[in-house]
Amino acid sequence: MKSIYDVTVIGGGPAGLAAAKGASSKGASVLIIERESLLGGILKQCIHDGFGLHRYHAPMTGPEYAEKEYQQLAPFSLDISTQTYVININSMNDSFELLTTSRFGYRTIHTRNIILATGCRERTAKQVFIHGSRPAGIFTAGTAQYYINRMGYLPTKRCVILGSGDVGLIMARRLTLEGATVLGVFEAKNEPSGLTRNLHQCLEDFDIPLSLSTTVTRVFGEERLNAVEIAKVDSSMNPIRGTEKIIACDGLILSVGLIPENEQAELINVQLDPSTHGPMITQDFMTSVPGVYSAGNALQVHDLVDYVSEGAECAGIAAAQTSRPIPMLIPIQKGSGLSTLVPQHLNINLPYQNVISYFRVTRTYQNATLTIYVDDRPILSKRYVRVRPPEMERLVVQYSALSEASIIRWTLEGEIV
Amino acid sequence: MNLHRLQTKLNQLHPSFLAKEVDDAVVLTGNCDDYSLIVQAGKLAVDKKRYRGVVNNIHLSDHPLTSVPAPTFYDQTLEGLCPDVIIIGGGIIGCSIARELSKWDLNVYVLDKSSDVGMHGSSRNDGMIHPGIDLTPKLKKGIYNRLGNELYSKVSSELQVPFERRGSYLVFNKSWMRIGMMLYLRYKSSINKIPMVRYVSQRELLKKEPEVGKQFKGAAYFPSTGYVSPYLMTIAYAENAIQNGVTFSLNTTVLGFSVSNHHMESVQTNRGTLFPKVVINAAGVFADVIAEMANDRFYTIHPRKGTIAILDKKSAGLTETSIGDPFHDPQRQNTKGGGVVRTVDNNILIGPDAVETPLREDYTTDQQQLDQLISKFTWVTPNLNRGSIITYFSGIRAATYEEDFIVEPSKRIENFIHVAGIQSPGITAAPAIALDVEQMALQILGSYQVINKNSSYNPYRKSIPDPRKMTSIEREQLIKNDPEFGVILCRCEQITKGEIRAAIRSPLPATTLDAVKRRVRAGMGRCQGSFCGPLVLAMLAEEQHVPLNRIEKSGKGSTILCAPTKGGESHEIHL
Amino acid sequence: MNKELTCIICPNSCKLSIEFIDGEWNVTNARCPRGIPFAVQEMTNPLRTLSSTVKTTFPNFPLLPVKTSDAVPQSMLLSIMKILNSIEVSDSVHVGDVIIKNVMNTGVDILATCNLDNPYGGEHREAEEPADTNI
């Protein structure tokens, strides 16, 4: 262990690995802190393919992608500490003190910069106000996936899945392949959340019905789940009285959303964006606290790990810079049609000619036009045949000639589907 | 009122209702499909001067007769045993009585039908150690509350259970309420012999409790209110009892008694028949059913459900203590009103409410109840954010119609003691009730035999080490001796592998996921066990030497995993 | 009898329409030619890649994630699952190693998708240090 590191990456999943590579490639001394015993994060249990199409031009499974990202670190000598957890962070003058715990006890680690790559957690049954009894048999999709893919156990024999996002769809297929019966997938919104490819290959292939505008309201069963109550919902996603139906099952799998983990970020007063639940960043992935960077699902929930790695690598490169100009921030305003937009600010004292940006739309649009205005002058206009909330879009923007007073605004307009 | 008048009033409620005097109790019979009428009838029949209690046998149509849930298995592990004392019920009452009795050289057994102690009333409340301002010394509740409250500092310290005496506020929003309320509260403080209530002005209130609604003109402050984890207290009592020689038999359901000549001869359970010298009925919501089995029922439990919601620790700033508004009771429920409470674990707890229900162990929640709870307490602390709720649950209070505790030896069976109707403030009262029941049991036993002190009695129980609360030197030593205390498993609550292992290996071992949760809080955080659940499950399987799919969430039948995916042999996991 | 399906060849996700007319498949709405053989394949003999796990004899790493080297007929997925569930890997394997060659005569192999030895680099224990790191 070094007495001080240039960059400490908290989290050894895909974001942490790419960030470590980025920082190491610029000569920084790097430490990765990971709370599990193995690196790779959530990829270890994502045994399906669809990863790496952009970054490696090949369809890889999660484990392959993780192995590949780990191999990228081979040329560098960095320190890695597993089964280690950051309990506290203290900001000092020009550095940070991380208090960590591991089997070797409590340690203080000094670092000049921090990259928060802490991933996200799943929304729970209580957070979507499912009521009834408290039986065994209710799982979030990620936990079910862990049981099946890392421990080798089926958590259910006949189940219902709430949530038509990709995680839920992937689990529908996985459960069926391993011998469980998936009675149906229910989605509270009026359109499915996942990729169309997954709707075909996870549901249609196995004749698993999908019900839209439907949610699970209650569960039954004293010790083990034996039924759920589903109900139709209105446009505000509130259950409609009288539409309730009971479905006998022994498992309820919840795929109702992911929440970025920013408990460590909040320890040092990193400002969060309420629309992403992640830190506000500038184009170099730095948060409101100088020297603290954010990447991956902790920054915002991503759909493609390729984008996670790309952003994280940039964050790593930025964190390795030995000197930082004084920040001069201008906000990037989110106009109509956009629910999230990252980065939220531009630091005009840093280069801004190629700003990798990500956005999500508020609803599905077709024949949409995204326009970026600087001082009410459009600098970019891009057409989208179809753009949906579950698919985060990436755009590289060329800004130029910005000043402190520049006003940047993004808007999206199109036909609502 | 006299029987005749009671009968008239009952007939106004429902034509089938009949009242009879049987021994010293009033017995109601009849049949009705509206439970609220049955409860009203029970309340009407209360007359403490005339009757020892109300036995409400009015039947709720289309509802099965109340009985203890049937056991899921039978064996002979307890067959033929002759303990000195059997305590029926492993809630805080049963466990605290057991601990006090363990001071003596006695063979004591605690029987509980569940897979762990404290799974019912004792773990489903707000953990407040009440000042007792709403009570009177005429009620057993009042006396036991005061004594219990005073004892908490000592007992919690002996048992190494975190306890914080931070006081509490009752707020009022109309200036005119101040004088009347304070006079009334001063009077109550005095008759209950509890630390005097203090008036707090609006200015001071807002300084001490900045998140409280600005509409409140002032508050009454109760310095003696404390906060504890009620399930941890129950477990700690049980562990200390075990350390001092008490035996706990879980998954044990009492099925019947043999009583002859006013003497309880034997206790039949699903695990055999025992022949105790003394039996203590501390069976919570089923205490009246147990009493009925012994033909000694002079009271009825009418269950009252309370719902509680827990908020993320980020909301901890909502209060430093707890704040309640006794005047704001939109649903007109029979409750102290609950409050916005800062627990010892720094979560915010709101509730409980109170709803009569015919079901004894119905812990289901519903959205309407939860919405009412949220709206009621948003009135108290307006920044209460529904989005910060991480979980919600319900509990059932074991209330008698007299709304008071029953702590007394049976009048019909010489070796039977009733400790029933322990609703709120049961957690507060437990240490004091336990001491009284100890004396009652000794009194009865003393007539059969000489009772010696337990020479190795140790009132001190060691809690599971908590690395977060240690000095750096203590912690370094702890982790050096056992590196598992350095590895965090439950990331939301920062609970280490060492603590979980200790919970599984404790004197009353945790055998289920929920039992581990109650002992060390793994799974009580933001992610509600999504991350740590599988890891805790694997540790349980490892310690019990069973395949992963045998591990249960709470009770028998609540296994979490179904079968290995490859259809082959189950294997152990090392993580 | 017209069937709609979404092409998965590239992110454009064209909504293809396919119909069997006059003895041949007719595909419309494709913005590039690659969608046409895809649509025909989907109707005649849909192919899918399969990812799953197989048991290992290593107690610290009980499951090895695997995948098919290429797509296989959708109709064979469950039978291939049966075969995967019946084997156990006891050698140390690396990413890309063939676990089963030519599974069920499909010409497709089953490949390991992670290293059994030191997966993802294995465990990295913090080096034990004398007390020069202050706490």
Question: What is the reported pLDDT for B335?
Answer: 64
Domain CATH code at residue C91: 3.10.530.10
Instruction: Report the candidate in A128, A88, A97 with the shortest Cα–Cα distance to residue A258.
Output: A128
Q: Which of A2, A5, A39, A87 to mutate to test the interface with C (most CBs of C within 10 A)?
A: A39
Residue with the larger pLDDT of the pair A195 and B95: B95
- Tokens encoding B163: 């306890």
One domain for residues C62 and C100: yes
Question: What is the reported pLDDT for B333?
Answer: 66
Contact call for C59 and B567, based on CB within 8 A: no
Question: What is the reported pLDDT for B181?
Answer: 85
Q: Which of C114, C115, C123, C128 to mutate to test the interface with A (most CBs of A within 10 A)?
A: C114
Residues of B in contact with C54 (CB under 8 A): 566
Phi, psi of B399 (to 5 degrees): -100, 140
The domain spans of chain B are 3-60, 77-163+226-301+398-453, 168-223+302-397, 467-550
Structure confidence at residue B574 as a pLDDT band (50, 70, 90): very low
Residue C62 domain boundaries? 51-119
Domain presence at residue C127: no
Instruction: Reduce the secondary structure of B216-243 to three states and give it as a string.
Output: CCEEEEECCCEEECHHHHHHHHHHHHHH
Domain presence at residue C124: no
Contact call for A200 and C5, based on CB within 8 A: yes
pLDDT digits (tens, 9 = 90+) for A226-242: 999 999 999 988 999 99
- Tokens encoding B520: 């060390």
One domain for residues C113 and C56: yes
What whole-number distance in Å separates Cα of residue A159 and Cα of residue A178? 13
Residues of A in contact with B366 (CB under 8 A): 131-132, 218
Same fold, A124-256 and A326-417: no
pLDDT above 80: residue A116: yes
What whole-number distance in Å separates Cα of residue A257 and Cα of residue A122? 6
Contact call for C121 and A70, based on CB within 8 A: yes
pLDDT digits (tens, 9 = 90+) for B222-234: 999 999 999 999 9
Q: What is the CATH number of domain B77-163+226-301+398-453?
A: 3.50.50.60
pLDDT digits (tens, 9 = 90+) for A360-390: 999 999 999 999 999 999 999 999 988 999 8
B168-223+302-397 sits in which CATH class? alpha beta
Q: Hey, how many other C-beta atoms are within 10 angstroms of the C-beta on A179?
A: 17
What whole-number distance in Å separates Cα of residue B413 and Cα of residue B407? 15
What whole-number distance in Å separates Cα of residue B400 and Cα of residue B302? 6
Q: What is the CATH number of domain A124-256?
A: 3.50.50.60
- CA angle at residue C74 from C71 to C75, to 5 degrees? 135
Which H or E run contains A230? Answer: strand A227-232
Which residues make Cβ contacts (< 8 Å) with residue A81, sequence separation at least 6?
A1, A31, A32, A33, A34, A100, A102, C124, C125, C126
Domain presence at residue C35: yes
One domain for residues C58 and C115: yes
Domain presence at residue C17: yes
Q: A357-360: long-range contacts at Cβ-Cβ below 8 A with a sequence spacing of 24 or more?
A: A357/A332, A357/A394, A357/A395, A357/A396, A357/A397, A358/A300, A358/A307, A358/A311, A358/A392, A358/A393, A358/A394, A358/A395, A359/A392, A359/A393, A359/A395, A359/A410, A359/A412, A360/A389, A360/A391, A360/A392, A360/A393
In a 3-state reduction of DSSP, which class is residue B448? coil
In a 3-state reduction of DSSP, which class is residue B258? strand
The residue to which tokens 């007495």 are assigned: A3
How close C92 comes to chain A (CA, Å)?
15
Phi, psi of A272 (to 5 degrees): -105, 150
Question: What is the reported pLDDT for C130?
Answer: 43
One domain for residues C99 and C64: yes
What whole-number distance in Å separates Cα of residue B227 and Cα of residue B343? 6
pLDDT digits (tens, 9 = 90+) for A337-353: 999 999 999 999 999 99
Residues of A in contact with C132 (CB under 8 A): 3
pLDDT digits (tens, 9 = 90+) for B471-530: 999 999 999 999 999 999 999 999 999 999 999 999 999 999 999 999 999 999 999 999
Residues of A in contact with B370 (CB under 8 A): 129, 131
What whole-number distance in Å separates Cα of residue A133 and Cα of residue A124? 15
Residues of B in contact with A154 (CB under 8 A): 561-565
Residue of B568, B572, B573 with shortest CB distance to C55: B568
Structurally, chain C folds into a number of domains equal to 2
Q: Does the interface predicted TM-score (ipTM) exceed 0.90?
A: yes
Q: What is the CATH number of domain B3-60?
A: 3.30.1340
pLDDT above 60: residue B342: yes
Contact call for C59 and B573, based on CB within 8 A: yes
Domain presence at residue C134: no
Structure confidence at residue B336 as a pLDDT band (50, 70, 90): low
Residue of C55, C60, C135 with shortest CB distance to B566: C55
Q: Which of A104, A216, A223, A277 to mutate to test the interface with B (most CBs of B within 10 A)?
A: A223
Question: What is the reported pLDDT for B248?
Answer: 98
Which residues make Cβ contacts (< 8 Å) with residue B356, sequence separation at least 6?
B35, B36, B39, B302, B303, B304, B305, B334
Which residues make Cβ contacts (< 8 Å) with residue A174, sequence separation at least 6?
A48, A145, A148, A149
Structure confidence at residue B572 as a pLDDT band (50, 70, 90): very low
Read off the pLDDT of each residue in A72-93 and give the average, rounded to a whole number.
96
One domain for residues C34 and C61: no
B26 and B297 Cβ atoms separated by less than 8 Å? no
Domain presence at residue C61: yes
One domain for residues C35 and C87: no
Domain presence at residue C130: no
Using CB atoms, list chains with 3+ pairs below 8 Å to chain B.
Answer: A, C
* Burial class of residue B57 (count of CB atoms within 10 Å of its CB; 0-12, 13-18, 19+): middle
Question: What is the reported pLDDT for A252?
Answer: 98
What whole-number distance in Å separates Cα of residue B128 and Cα of residue B134? 14
Distances from the Cα of A282 to the Cαs of A287, A392, B52, in angstroms?
A: 7, 18, 74
Architecture of domain B467-550: Orthogonal Bundle (1.10)
* Sign (positive or negative) of CA dihedral B80, B81, B85, B87: negative
Instruction: Report the candidate in B454, B486, B453 with the shortest Cα–Cα distance to residue B468.
Output: B486
What whole-number distance in Å separates Cα of residue B233 and Cα of residue B380? 29
Q: Which of residues 59-88 of C touch B (CB under 8 A)?
A: 59-60, 62, 85-86
pLDDT above 50: residue A318: yes
pLDDT above 50: residue C48: yes
pLDDT digits (tens, 9 = 90+) for B239-293: 999 999 999 999 999 999 999 999 999 999 999 999 999 999 999 999 999 999 9
Domain presence at residue C74: yes
Please indicate if any CB of chain A lies within 8 Å of the CB of C114.
yes
Which H or E run contains A309? Answer: helix A305-319
Which residues make Cβ contacts (< 8 Å) with residue A290, sequence separation at least 6?
A324, A327
Assigned CATH topology for domain A326-417: Immunoglobulin-like (2.60.40)
One domain for residues C114 and C64: yes
The domain spans of chain A are 1-122+258-324, 124-256, 326-417
Q: Which CATH number fits domain A1-122+258-324: 3.40.50.2000, 3.40.50.300, 3.50.50.60, 3.40.50.10490?
A: 3.50.50.60
- Tokens encoding B420: 């029933």
* Sign (positive or negative) of CA dihedral A290, A293, A298, A302: positive
* Burial class of residue B162 (count of CB atoms within 10 Å of its CB; 0-12, 13-18, 19+): middle
Please indicate if any CB of chain A lies within 8 Å of the CB of C45.
no
- Cite the active site residues of B: 130
One domain for residues C64 and C101: yes
